[in-house]
Amino acid sequence: MKISFVILNYNREAEVLQTIEKTHQLMQGRTDYEIIIVDNASTDNSVASLKALSNKIKLVTRPSNNGIAGWNDGFAEASGKYMVVLDDDSNVESGIDEAINYLDVHSEVGVLSLNITGGAFQTDDRVDLQDCTDFIGCGAVIRKEVYNKIGGFAEWLFIYTHEWEYGLRVLNAGYKIKYFEKCKVLHRTSALNRTPKRLKIFSVRNELVIVYKYFSTETRNKYLTRIMLNNVKGVYKYGLHTIPWFYEAYSEFKKMKGQIVHTPVSKEIEDFSGKNIGSTKPFLNIY
């Protein structure tokens, strides 16, 4: 088994069925792959429809929704050397062979960030084969070896920004993350289960917690301040009614930080990440 497609589904029956069909079409004629669907306690008809495809997929059903950590159940089941991470509403369109061939040659690369089109988060600002500190979770390839070494996504984040947290651990384990332009993923981006308020609150809270956990005590206050300032700039885009969202995100961060064990990454990784994550870059080139 070479490739395990690991797809997390939550209440998107039509989307996940479309992703399965498109993935089989992509891999037509091949036998060196598997499709693993983790259903995160859906309440729609997803599980019944997925069970009907038992000859085409491997289904893992969760008793409760644990957010992005649901992917970990699929990672544990994966028998492929490489795990292609997809959302229920995203699919690889082309370039999977080129991506896998690149990883076969470059054993130092632990994660390939793929070329994402569609949706709120795209990769059009990245340069082919650039070194990255994160990836977009609806389209990436992770070596199974990396998962075996550092584990899966952080359950304590629940949703959003888990790619940055995972990227820090990947880099700290001695691997590289590269952007691979030739492998294209379409994120169809279903509106189901997505709201801008939830996105902003969880994203800001999680960014704060990640810095608090992985950055040094000497610098993390600077980066925490940058995160708040850079995110509050979004009020101009989203409107004054969003101001309470940032207060709620910071309040949730304060609740969490007492439970977080400080495990700082190296200064080199911290510096690299601080320069390449939008929220931790200097605020208006001032601070």
Q: What is the pLDDT of residues 240-272, one digit of tens each?
A: 999 999 999 999 999 999 999 999 999 999 999
Share above pLDDT 70 across residues of the chain, in percent, rounded to a whole number: 98
Question: What is the rounded CA–CA span in Å between residue 214 and residue 224?
Answer: 12
- Non-local (6+) Cβ contacts of 145 within 8 A are 81, 110
Q: Are 84 and 119 in contact (CB under 8 A)?
A: no
pTM above 0.85, yes or no: yes
Phi and psi for 118 in degrees, rounded to 5?
90, 150
User: Per residue in 190-219, pLDDT tens?
Assistant: 656 567 899 999 999 999 999 999 999 999
138 in helix, strand or coil? coil
pLDDT band (50, 70, 90) for residue 286: confident
Average pLDDT over residues 29-39: 97
Distance, CA of 204 to CA of 208 (rounded, Å)? 6
Give yes or no for residue 69 having a pLDDT over 90.
Answer: yes
- Model confidence at 121, pLDDT cuts 50, 70, 90, reads confident
119 — pLDDT class (breaks 50, 70, 90): confident
